[in-house]
Structure 1
């Protein structure tokens, strides 16, 4: 094992992975210290394919832009990576998060970059704030490069690895990637209040990212003995802890990654209830089914009268991905006492209804067979027990009032052809 500079590191990756796949830790563990080195020596990125569980809004670099022959593999899309997709250098694989992880591990990587904390007295490094994929990928990677980032906290409840497991290390003290919170508007607060009414003391909560789910978390401060089981832990979850809403027991906060701002990273590092684990434990069907009273709280862009959910497309343009949405909807349905909730701001800009007659085929993220509880600023409806006519009627009732007559007429026309 040798200590090398960032410029030497990108050259080593190119040497060990010619025409190969390079795994990168993502989320708050993305190796930002290597970005300038790649930009300064773009030839070191030529013919490499960069893969990882990159998170929109947290991981921003378009690795396919480093060199005309560089490639990037994604499971979710964001505007930051659209240029690579348009140029044909970025692959987007539309998989559920659990399946994306399984594919990543099954295919392995020729080389990998893993961000870890500084080693302790026993020479063990913590995977820090990202335990989702890196521990499993370590065994599926050839050349292993460690970024020993002194800004990465050593999380007591995260997996550890001997520093000797790596072929080379780069010492760094680089600020970690962050996720900015989105302020909740009046509609978001109204939806969050309706969601809070569905949550009971003692429930286990999963939330997606975005202003609606995180507003729902903040609305739960008066609940007690809650547990968190989620792909991601954010600052709003710590607000619940500070409010006394989280159960006082080990692993009461369980997730794959933790992401927020610098103050959040300092605070979460000292949280004794935090347990960070891999994707099979956060998103796996068997693991979710074992959790009693799992309430999945996520957001969508559109819902149609059949109960199909769009969480990926704005018009014809893909702006996100499936992520863990379907994993958690199905997990909450199989959980004893569980409830899958999808939040939707039903009235968009200009009064446009986001409850529509029928989604375009490419925009269906959640099928009608997995229909969840829909919560809008106008009401709440559980679609699972309803037949097709009752679903259409119920969904129209939680649409903007100005759209309800048009939705009823549209359903009558579609119903005549079923």
Structure 2
């Protein structure tokens, strides 16, 4: 293992070959210093490509495409500007498919760039803030380059022995942080309807953003909640401190929050540091159907760009603009809908673009992310539409009822042919 202090001290041309494919740790686990070095030196190496699932660092922008061509499973965070500039290739896939594709070679991985914590007494580093597909990347890569950051917490569950690192750089800088979102009146209304489905002892899965943050604020009076989620934010700390999250009633992983990504601020990172009640896991565990089937009362909350009148969900694209991604939505929608006592919630504002566009729509403007056969409950600020077991005509009626009143008449007119038929 070669240890250097700064990315500029690494001659990446000695490590990378023209045409190499690099898999990068995502979200708050982005190895920022390595990426800055890659963008500075990549053009001189030539024909480099990189895969990152999400990016919040702002390091990637359309100009960085001159140094390294980027691909991703979506356009989340700063990748949205890349998508608008046609500077990123979108690979439609679930987040749970990324690691298997790396292992199989379908997603090339010559080099792994990862961010890790300092080593413990045994010489093991923690993956810190991200443990989803990075383990598969390390196992597959010809060269593993690690950014050892003394600001990264030593989280439990996913460790990287120093012997598996080929080159390391030591840095001391705050990792990427995603502060809690600004919560508005619409977010609170959606959250109020959503939390009515979450009782004491429920196991919850949700993402980060204004609606999830509002929901977490409303759950402080619950007791013995469990958490099994692809990602968690700062709101987890609030729920633990309030005594709401104990994980005490889970059939598996009792007493432990299970997640694959910490997406928040130093408050969350400090909380997770060497905390035995937080376990970082790969997507092969967090999103696995066999694991999720062992969770009773699992309530999953996901978001969408739009939902059509039959219940089809688009969480990826609006017209030509790629705005989101498949993420772990389908895995968790299926799990929540099939969990004994559980529910699968799709939460979204009723309108977009300043209220000029209805997000309950007669026809999707983009792809189907989640099939109507999987969708359980759709919630807007105007209420909840329970779709499970309902025929298409009744689905349309219920979805129109939670659309913004300004669009209900047009939607009813569009639904009229549907409601005249029997299914």
- Tell me if 1:37 matches 2:37: yes
CA shift, 1:347, in A, is 3.8
2:251 alignment partner in structure 1: none
Of residues 377, 385, 390, the one that matches 2:389 is: 385
Superposed CA RMSD: 2.3
Cα pair 2:7 2:37 within 8 Å, conserved: yes
User: 1:85 and 1:351 mapped to 2: Cα distance?
Assistant: 24
User: 2:122 and 2:68 mapped to 1: Cα distance?
Assistant: 38
User: 2:255 and 2:91 mapped to 1: Cα distance?
Assistant: 32
2:256 alignment partner in structure 1: 252
- Seen in structure 2, the aligned counterparts of structure 1 residues 68 and 382 have a Cα distance that, compared at 3 Å, is same
Deviations 1:95-129 (A, max 9, x none): 11112332233225111122111111221111112
2:154 alignment partner in structure 1: 154
- Tell me if 1:325 matches 2:326: no
User: 1:363 and 1:59 mapped to 2: Cα distance?
Assistant: 28
User: 1:59 and 1:163 mapped to 2: Cα distance?
Assistant: 26
Of residues 308, 313, 331, the one that matches 2:312 is: 308
User: 1:150 and 1:115 mapped to 2: Cα distance?
Assistant: 10
Alignment of 1:62-73 (within 5 A): 62=60, 65-66=63-64, 68=66, 70-73=68-71
Alignment of 1:164-313 (within 5 A): 164-247=163-246, 251-269=255-273, 271-313=275-317
Cα pair 2:158 2:281 within 8 Å, conserved: yes
Structure 2 counterpart SS, 1:326:
helix
User: 2:93 and 2:334 mapped to 1: Cα distance?
Assistant: 15
1:355 alignment partner in structure 2: 360
Of residues 79, 82, 94, the one that matches 1:81 is: 79
Deviations 1:235-263 (A, max 9, x none): 01111111110116555311001121123
Structure 1 regions of 5+ residues with no counterpart? none
Structure 1 counterpart SS, 2:194:
helix
CA shift, 1:267, in A, is 2.4
Cα pair 1:38 1:66 within 8 Å, conserved: no
User: 2:202 and 2:85 mapped to 1: Cα distance?
Assistant: 46
Which range moves more in the overlay, 3-12 or 282-291?
3-12
CA shift, 1:130, in A, is 1.2
CA shift, 1:89, in A, is 5.2
- Tell me if 1:345 matches 2:352: no
- Seen in structure 2, the aligned counterparts of structure 1 residues 232 and 320 have a Cα distance that, compared at 3 Å, is same
> TM-score, structure 1 length as denominator?
0.91
Cα pair 1:70 1:89 within 8 Å, conserved: no
> TM-score, structure 2 length as denominator?
0.90
User: 1:32 and 1:69 mapped to 2: Cα distance?
Assistant: 15
Residue-pair matches, total: 413
CA shift, 1:44, in A, is 4.5
- Tell me if 1:403 matches 2:379: no
CA shift, 1:305, in A, is 0.8
Which range moves more in the overlay, 398-407 or 227-236?
398-407
CA shift, 1:145, in A, is 1.3
1:2 alignment partner in structure 2: 2
- Seen in structure 2, the aligned counterparts of structure 1 residues 414 and 275 have a Cα distance that, compared at 3 Å, is same
CA shift, 1:150, in A, is 0.7
